[in-house]
């Protein structure tokens, strides 16, 4: 029988009390490891994090906690090769796609380690200038942000077992808040191994970092009023979390990143043969096939002027035909499998829904798989769809397929393009392609209220932009409406989620005597 991975809770390694769930190689179909959370005393584990981990972290200054993050990044860097092996086996990703997750997580940790040093030796954050409250200038108010005294519970998605952990944990730990990680079961191995390496290194104070692998049952019942739940996943699950009796009754703070029908929009000046047109084609193909389309930020809808719809369809299809799909252990392969057979079924079912109202422009042939079997592996070939009437087709704006699938949608004019993008009801990101600063500027502002990020690609940044789907720690990650309404990263803005803002009203002498 395969190894049962232990959980780390209440300062000790604990294995679940049942046989657990088996994690499998989505390419080869072989059993890897098992995970189980059965029998764990979650309440005791959360209490330990609050009583032991929280005070120990808060006793350190921001700069001291930043130094710990730097040491964590060093440990992860030293074990990087092992992480790539696990990612290939458990997620079916190529080396390039694994790097997005693994190196992205390490980079984010290192970024917050550097930024945290700038916060110095303080134990809370100032928030704006002092403001006079009365005619007497001596009585004023000062706003400060102090770290939450609870625990941060992270319920993460399957697609980024490394980055999804560290992009949340870095600002939380820097803020002085202990974390409990619940990785998605299908790809939990990498997350568990990273946490195990950090725990073994003895870098963080006891109780600062915990992990629960397996069933999420009981987690929401273990949180308390000063805790925080940060979730990445489906809109339905996010709603379930918000409606949980314990979460609602105790007014637990919630941050959610949910479904997102992200878009790419080609400007009217970007006609076939122009650099901007080629940039859209390149980015669409990269987003459709990177991590087999399993990114919350991947392009799902492609809006192009009606006059170039045929040319765009032909160009994207031609590039997709060059993508080699198969076993990621083969260096020729550019796209691996989906993360699990359950995910494969979900994508195929979603694809069938879209195909009811859209024609298929391109579909890869499973017979072309390299070093892999379509009968064994969790593969879905790239699919490009197209709708003819953008106004009557609502399915493309309602239904996200979390895989290598995107739909081409024609638009008439600028206002029409904005309206179509907004029919996604809130997205993480939209990208614009063109070389007309005036059009791009208007579009960026018009899209801002319904998108967490607007990524503008012109020929001037064609070789240097960070990518439509790449989430950088310097920029806000999140989106309104259907995208969950949450907000993460954005440099030091990320720390606000893990702090409580308070107004201190007092004589200026008292305000001047507040400890650092």
Which residues are marked as active site? 257, 296
Rg value, the chain, Cα: 24
Phi, psi (deg, nearest 5) at residue 377: -80, 160
Cα 312 to Cα 316: distance, rounded to the nearest angstrom? 6
C-alpha closest to that of 208 among 198, 216, 219, 218: 198
Structure tokens at 60: 């350190």
Cα 252 to Cα 107: distance, rounded to the nearest angstrom? 30
Could you tell me the sign of the dihedral formed by the alpha carbons of 451, 452, 457, 460, in that order?
positive
C-alpha closest to that of 478 among 516, 442, 452: 452
Structure tokens at 313: 């369809």
Phi, psi (deg, nearest 5) at residue 264: -120, 135
181 touches 212 (CB < 8 A) = yes
C-alpha closest to that of 316 among 335, 341, 289: 289
Structure tokens at 332: 């020729």
Residue located via tokens 């005597």: 513
* Cα 347 to chain centroid, rounded: 19
Phi, psi (deg, nearest 5) at residue 253: -65, 135
Could you tell me the sign of the dihedral formed by the alpha carbons of 327, 215, 483, 230, in that order?
negative
Cα 336 to Cα 289: distance, rounded to the nearest angstrom? 9
C-alpha closest to that of 341 among 5, 58, 22, 116: 22
Coil/strand/helix, residue 463? coil
Q: Count the Cβ atoms, other than its own, within 10 Å of residue 393.
A: 18
Cα 301 to Cα 298: distance, rounded to the nearest angstrom? 9
C-alpha closest to that of 73 among 147, 153, 150, 173: 173
369 touches 326 (CB < 8 A) = yes
Cα 137 to Cα 116: distance, rounded to the nearest angstrom? 34
250 touches 224 (CB < 8 A) = yes
Phi, psi (deg, nearest 5) at residue 210: -135, 160
């Amino acid at each position: 029988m395969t190894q049962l991975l232990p959980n780390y809770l209440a300062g000790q390694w604990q294995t679940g009390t049942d046989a657990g769930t088996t994690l499998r190689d989505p390419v080869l179909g072989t059993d890897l490891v098992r995970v189980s959370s059965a029998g764990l005393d979650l309440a005791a584990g959360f209490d330990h994090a609050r009583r032991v981990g929280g005070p120990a972290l808060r006793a350190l200054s921001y700069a001291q906690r930043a130094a710990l993050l730097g040491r964590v990044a060093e440990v992860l860097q030293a074990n990087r090769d092992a992480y790539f092996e696990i990612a290939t086996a458990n997620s079916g990703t190529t080396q390039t796609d694994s790097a997005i997750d693994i190196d992205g997580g390490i980079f984010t940790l290192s970024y917050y380690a550097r930024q945290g040093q700038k916060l110095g030796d303080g134990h809370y954050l100032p928030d704006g200038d002092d403001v006079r409250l009365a005619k007497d200038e001596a009585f004023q108010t000062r706003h400060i942000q102090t770290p939450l005294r609870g625990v941060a519970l992270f319920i993460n998605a399957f697609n980024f077992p490394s980055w999804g952990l560290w992009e949340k944990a870095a600002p939380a730990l820097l803020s002085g808040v202990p974390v409990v990680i619940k990785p998605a079961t299908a790809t939990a191995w990498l997350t568990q191994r990273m946490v195990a390496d950090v725990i073994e290194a003895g870098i963080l104070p006891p109780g600062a970092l915990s992990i629960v692998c397996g069933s999420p049952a009981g987690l929401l019942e273990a949180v308390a009023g000063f805790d925080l739940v940060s979730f990445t996943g489906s809109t339905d699950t996010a709603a379930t979390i918000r409606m949980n009796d314990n979460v609602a009754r105790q007014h637990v703070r919630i941050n959610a990143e949910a479904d997102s029908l992200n878009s790419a929009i080609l400007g009217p000046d970007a006609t076939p043969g122009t650099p901007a047109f080629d940039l859209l084609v390149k980015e669409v193909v990269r987003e459709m096939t990177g991590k087999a389309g399993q990114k919350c930020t991947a392009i799902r809808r492609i809006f192009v002027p009606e006059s170039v719809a045929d040319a765009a369809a032909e160009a994207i299809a031609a590039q997709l035909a060059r993508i080699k799909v198969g076993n990621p252990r083969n260096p020729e392969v550019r796209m691996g499998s989906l993360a699990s057979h359950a995910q494969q079924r979900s994508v195929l079912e979603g694809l069938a829904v879209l195909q009811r109202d859209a024609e298929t422009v391109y579909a890869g042939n499973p017979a072309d798989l390299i070093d892999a079997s379509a009968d064994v592996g969790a593969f879905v070939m790239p699919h490009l769809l197209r709708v003819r009437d953008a106004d009557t087709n609502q399915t493309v704006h309602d239904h996200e397929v979390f895989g290598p699938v995107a739909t081409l949608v024609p638009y008439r004019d600028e206002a029409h393009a904005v309206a179509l993008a907004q029919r996604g009801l809130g997205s993480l990101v939209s990208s614009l392609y063109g070389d007309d600063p005036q059009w791009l500027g208007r579009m960026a502002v018009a899209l801002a209220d319904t998108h967490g990020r607007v990524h503008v690609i012109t020929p001037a940044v064609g070789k240097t932009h960070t990518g439509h789907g790449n989430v950088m720690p310097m920029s806000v990650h999140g989106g309104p409406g259907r995208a969950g309404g949450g907000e993460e990263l954005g440099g030091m803005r990320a720390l606000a989620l893990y702090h409580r803002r308070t107004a201190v009203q007092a004589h200026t002498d008292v305000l001047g005597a507040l400890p650092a």
